[in-house]
Chain A
């Protein structure tokens, strides 16, 4: 639990020194305006003469467009224009893919408005422009389109088979790429085949990462205003800077004529890390008509058109010695790209390549990923992006290996993880983990859970054949945060760097503006950055304003995703603050008639060493630069600064998550009884923000384990097209979380921070599923496909009872393939209202 610190101004600590802001659980500056709605959401924007768009979307998963007749729609009241893909065929370009993971990756192209063919339900086909939103939506039904239906391509294995129907006519197969890492070739370990061949114990499992919908709270919204030769775009995006560059290249407007503003943005979870067809369409229409336009999607449009996440088939082979020492890990992924490659689609599964080996010491490792096209919504970043998939697979198979070897699953982990004294440690995938203490986090978590008591209760319930069984699940995870060292991104063929920028302006009155290149959309950057700068410059928290999310006022940045904001952007702020202090030091020295080297800087004051009474505050110095009446020769009248920081390494948060779950064997319902997580995210700027990130992350990870799944029917329609069928859990469905931390400071940045935005999501999913399987192992169950719905658990119990004994070693879990994600839809009907 975290106590809230609401003190108004920086006070003095008990020892008389300045009390630090970093570490205080301040309530967030931004909450009052966000929670009351007295703020700028994109959809609140109104510009003079603004027109409204409605987008007609494909009802077909896969079809040729043979005819479009928009004449009646054009004649509807209030309608200004109707455009189809043909109207923009020459100007719309393709939605950019910034991550060609291999030299021979196939990218069939991605028009914003379909021109000749649609490849997923929900794809934009036509756009209505009208004087008001209702008129635009009314005219949608008047657009007459003839489709020639093509076979839906839904199953990844079938899509890769010989003679499969092709999603794209301009390709020769549905495979986009194959990306391989092998430790022998990379020089990071032994050749994998040698280790596999020599294995004493080999275990293979297939895990299904179901398709998920990011379900950000604020639907996507875009406003475009033509300005001179270019335009200004307001958009509900995580990435205004990337969007600006990519829009310039896509639409063909010089970058300096494009301004992108991300006003207050209501969540993203990776779902707004994108250059969307809708954004491009808004820009095209606004420029064509010379009018401002607005488009805001409905939730129904959002769930079928905004990119989805996960959707992998994971075939995992682990080898070990009989004593439980793991030796080799062989990972083969089929990663569903959906119909198109979007901004970083191909790179998402590849990010997981470095995390499957996790905290364990393997001799050899291979990772192979095939990116596959299907006629489903494109996939891309979703909270964790590659790392939840990896963590799930390794943590699940460690439990299966423990069962196979008849070992305690925690003992198996302890035997194989990197010991505290072994850091820094270079793993078999080539990552160098700088710090960590898995023993400390695990011991704390076990104690908080009351592991031994629950194990005893589990034994009692098993002995008494209690209809409610208890399961205990473990996830000892790590992740890589702080995307990313630019050199690493270059080696992975990403088209941009991973640096971040910050600037600081000290105003005449001593107030401070911090300009940051990250683009918060709910994270609390305004508060955390203020806390950092308050300490760095010794100015009051309240005197700091954080400016972000506008390419004009915060012109340089790489935006917010991948738990990078603090670890990269926050460090850029520190670097900028250090520059301010150094510039101010020279002027303060002049004012104090001392040598700059003889000045101390503490609590916002420069003082001459040995005579603390003789001092000038940083505000005094700022005012001196404002008047500039008496500055040393050759010194510019400014202490403002600008810094760009490129991290030398990732950071590696880790932790131990434990879940106790009750499984009602009569109904199949799994109910979390107790959830404990001890996260090691390094030093903490604001414990309250961290607590919020952990809680929200846990909710989303648990949601994957128990609740959420995007399901398509046999024709490729999204059956879970609303929140009636796509079940996002609420607080009412989740337990009270027990959270704690250990601190192994990151050694790769001056704040010692590691990032926390994705930890809960990455760690929690396998903890929950391991708990469910642990509860049911005596019933012959060794896997339940996610989400572990009551029906799936009930069916697994029924099948397990028939088998009466656990699946034999070395076999594929029976839960895996038998209930593929489209199976339950034999009579599926969506849309209960």
Chain B
């Protein structure tokens, strides 16, 4: 399992990285934590001419507070995300979901930004970003821009990143007063990808759901918001019956895949069950 040969560039700043990506051309790949890219290279499913390793860029790592948001550098590892006090306090959904990613070794190498840029619909973190209305900061040959998570994931393994652009940071609004969250992951073994998972963020008011954001993992070619559920939850009493009723809309507007882990009808069923569980768990936090 040896990749085909490639040139290797390790820039030390974002500016250098953007330049390196620009000059490397179409057949370049950006290496973040390598937890998806390296297996692809080793299996020779991809033959990049150049690998641009972002591992040497200090400004891409770390978590900071910025007014009503936290800003996470794209090269911050999963392990750092799970342990960071700002994330635990203001984005507990991200911390909880990240803890379920792969295994300990994967979490020490894999990065938040790498996971979003890879955009695997079975990945947990794209769903979290979508559910938390994250803003993705991008640098490219034409300068910087910000892409909302809802506009970022275009298709299976496809994002709104233009050629030459690099994801540099993810801005996540702080979870407000009265909000709580839960990530309900369903997979077959601890290290496996999600068959279906559900992210739920809810605001309770007087024993009922006032507002919610529901995200679905692996129910289509991109992470999805279960907007029908979000609508149905408004005013729903926090009871298994009422939440269950609202959750019965979870598969609406989805296009679940059929594969070895489950056919589409099973995934549609799971989406409803897991949405109910995620919302109830979030509401009881």
Contact = CB atoms under 8 A, between A and B. Distances in A.
Contacts of B44: 141
Interface in A730-773: 730, 732-733
A833 B263 contact: no
A828 interface: yes
B269 A790 contact: no
Given A667-B273, A791-B266, A832 B258 contact: no
A795 interface: yes
Interface stretch (A21-29, A130-138, A423-431): A130-138
Contacts of B264: 827
Interface residues of A, number: 39
Instruction: Please classify the interface of chain A as helix (H, G, I), strand (E, B), loop, or mixed, using the class held by over half of its residues.
Output: loop
A299 B40 CA distance: 14
Contacts of B186: 667, 669, 790
A729 B259 contact: no
Interface stretch (A268-276, A541-549, A717-725): A717-725
A719 B257 CA distance: 16
B263 A832 contact: no
A830 interface: yes
Q: Which of A669, A794, A832 is most buried by chain B, counting CB atoms within 10 A of its CB?
A: A832
Contact of A707 (B188, B262, B270): B188
Given A666-B273, A729-B189, A789-B188, A833 B39 contact: yes
B260 A138 contact: no
B40 A833 contact: yes
A661 interface: no
B125 to A, nearest CB: 15
A143 interface: no
Interface stretch (B63-71, B190-198, B228-236): B190-198
A140 to B, nearest CB: 9
A711 B261 CA distance: 12
B-side interface size class: 35 or more
Nearest to B47: A141
A137 B2 CA distance: 7
B58 interface: no
A828 B260 contact: yes
Contacts of A668: 266
B142 interface: no
Interface string A804-833: 000000000000000000001111111111
Contacts of A833: 36, 39-40, 43, 45, 120
A727 interface: yes
Contact of A720 (B1, B4, B190, B260): B260
**Most-contacted residue by chain A among B122, B191, B193 (CB, 10 A):** B191
Contact of A733 (B36, B190, B193, B269): B190
Nearest to A301: B1
Interface string B229-263: 00000000000000000000000000001111111
A727 B40 contact: no
A513 B258 CA distance: 59
Given A825-B260, A829-B259, A724 B193 contact: yes
Nearest to B190: A732
A71 interface: no
A208 B1 CA distance: 34
Contacts of A66: none
B23 interface: no
Given A791-B263, A795-B266, A727 B192 contact: yes
A137 B263 CA distance: 36
Interface string B42-54: 1111000000000
A720 B257 CA distance: 17
B258 A790 contact: no
A39 interface: no
A790 B195 CA distance: 10
B190 A730 contact: yes
Contacts of B120: 832-833
Nearest to B258: A827
Contacts of A666: 273
Contact of A794 (B39, B40, B42, B269): B269
B206 interface: no
A413 to B, nearest CB: 32
Contacts of A669: 186
A711 B273 contact: no
Contact of B270 (A299, A667, A829, A832): A667
A830 B260 contact: yes
A298 interface: yes
A831 B266 CA distance: 21
B263 A824 contact: yes
A296 B269 CA distance: 44
A830 B192 CA distance: 13
Given A794-B266, A833-B36, A725 B260 contact: yes
Contact of B189 (A719, A727, A829, A831): A727
- Determine which residue in A728, A729, A730, A791 has the highest number of CB atoms from chain B within 10 A of its CB, and name it: A791
B273 A832 contact: no
A826 B189 contact: no
A824 B36 contact: no
A84 B43 CA distance: 23
A707 B270 CA distance: 19
Nearest to A667: B273
Q: List the 8 closest A-B pairs by CB distance, nearest first.
A: A827-B258, A732-B190, A298-B1, A134-B2, A791-B262, A666-B273, A791-B266, A733-B189
Interface of A: 133-134, 137-138, 141, 298-300, 666-669, 707, 711, 719-720, 724-725, 727-730, 732-733, 789-791, 794-795, 824-833
Given A137-B2, A666-B273, A667-B274, 12 more contacts: A133-B2, A300-B43, A668-B266, A669-B186, A724-B192, A729-B189, A826-B258, A827-B257, A827-B258, A827-B263, A832-B122, A833-B40
22 contacts: A137-B2, A138-B5, A299-B1, A666-B273, A667-B270, A667-B273, A727-B189, A727-B192, A728-B189, A729-B189, A730-B103, A732-B191, A733-B189, A791-B261, A794-B269, A824-B263, A827-B264, A828-B258, A828-B259, A831-B43, A831-B45, A833-B36
